[in-house]
Amino acid sequence: MLRGIKQRGRTELAGAPLWSGRACLGFRPMSAAVQIPCPACLATNRVPQQRLSDKPICGRCKGHLFADHPVALTDETFGTFIGAAELPVIVDFWADWCGPCKMMAPQFEAAAQANAGRALFAKLDTDAARVTASHYAIRSIPTLIAFRNGKELARQSGGDDQAADRALAKPAAQALSQARRRTRSPARPQLRAAHRAADRTRTRSQPWSACCC
């Protein structure tokens, strides 16, 4: 079992754990709107960053964009879902016969619930989706891979009670670094003030509906 994160041919020790404030902050997008694929109909929705915690719903099918469980992907849906997401996407490559996969499943589902609005969580059955598993050279399971904007950021093979933490730590640190660089723009304070003003005019009594592109 690996004790670090494989990235670009080397193993690196994990940084901040998934549940730490630093890691969670790293998942907050800094752009005015974030693209999020609907887990039900795969429509691409644009959601203002200040609305990510408001349980946004799909502009097409009205389903929740942040499910309370990992999204089940297939060979047909994997590329669309991963490519359309501007939030980090953590994918669990698993199989039904794999004991460690089943042991890690409850923690992975809990992570999906705890990090709604910060990251997306998905599962791919490697027996049913052999093309995708082969493309990403999955040699052992469970394997967790973190993606952002369709690109692999890091991976972790092997399952235990800390596997999800280690798999997410490096992407969180990278996202935090990007967020800090983008906040240096002089236009950001005015943009954030405009967003806050717009928020005060909206009602929060109903789930917020995203703009479906």
Active site residues: 98, 101
Cα dist from 39 to 12, 69, 115, 145, 181, whole Å: 32, 10, 16, 18, 30
Burial of 172 by CB count in 10 Å (0-12 exposed, 13-18 middle, 19+ buried)?
buried
Closest CA to 207 of 26, 58, 46, 55: 55
Question: Do 23 and 3 touch, CB atoms closer than 8 A?
Answer: no
Nearest 5°: CA angle at 43, between 41 and 46? 140
Question: Do 110 and 56 touch, CB atoms closer than 8 A?
Answer: no
Burial of 186 by CB count in 10 Å (0-12 exposed, 13-18 middle, 19+ buried)?
exposed
The separation between the first and the last C-alpha atoms of the chain, rounded to the nearest angstrom, is: 42
Helix (H) or strand (E) holding 197, with range, is helix 188-201
